[in-house]
Homo-oligomer: A and B are copies of this chain.
Amino acid sequence: MTATRRSDTKSEILDIAERYWLRQGYNGFSYQHIAQDLGVKSAAIHYHFPAKGDLGVALVERMRRRFVRWAERTDAEIVGFWPRFDAFVAIYEAYLDDGKKLCPSGILDAEYHTIPEGMQEAAHGLTTAILRWLTRALRAGREAGEVSFNGEPEGAAIVVGATLQGAVQIARSLGRDAFHTTVEHLKKLLHP
């Protein structure tokens, strides 16, 4: 019985932890929450992740890898700036609809001064990966005449990233509509 599960207990822990993390923040859950959901004792979690910081770093790194894979697949399969933009927005929409989660960057930035150093570094890596993809997408989109903005694509990328990060947060108290309103207006601002 245990054997069936043993091999991927580690990723099960990550799955459960990720749920709590994106909803309540890194400081908003404990090993006991995870252990209870998993049906084991909290001490058992320490076998897989000795310190909570190890779990935190693993969560962020997994997010980064997941995003990089998403970006590769999107670039390969989806053509045109606006379809790609919509696919990107859909990531945030999924967070919002799945229990009012936040995007990982938003959580990480908000708790920045209280998380372990390793997590801060991993957070930087995640943010950078996201902004790099956005920059590439915006640059290609402008060259194709699909999108309009002044200045460097790097700057426009931060605007898009910051706006979506803020929008998914504001939607927590103002509701889903606030998110969609923000996205619609952002799109209008970027249209040529």
Q: Which residues of A contact B (CB under 8 A)?
A: 23-25, 27-28, 100, 102, 105-114, 120, 123-124, 127, 149-151, 154-156, 158-159, 161-167, 169-170, 172-174, 178, 181-182, 184-186, 188-190
Copies in the assembly, this chain = 2
Most buried by B among A110, A127, A174: A110
Q: Which residues of B contact A123 (CB under 8 A)?
A: 173
Which of chain B's residues has its CB closest to A171's CB? B109
Nearest-Cβ distance from residue A153 to partner chain B, whole angstroms: 10
Known: A24-B114, A155-B182, A163-B163. 9 other contacts (CB 8 A): A105-B170, A109-B172, A112-B173, A124-B174, A151-B188, A158-B182, A159-B182, A162-B162, A162-B163
Would you call the interface of chain A mostly helix, strand, loop, or mixed?
helix
Considering the chains assembled together, what is the distance between the CA atoms of A108 and B178 in angstroms?
16
Contact of A166 among B108, B120, B164 (CB under 8 A): B164
Taking a contact as CB atoms under 8 Å apart, the answer to whether B109 and A150 are in contact is no
Which of chain B's residues has its CB closest to A107's CB? B110
Taking a contact as CB atoms under 8 Å apart, the answer to whether B27 and A28 are in contact is yes
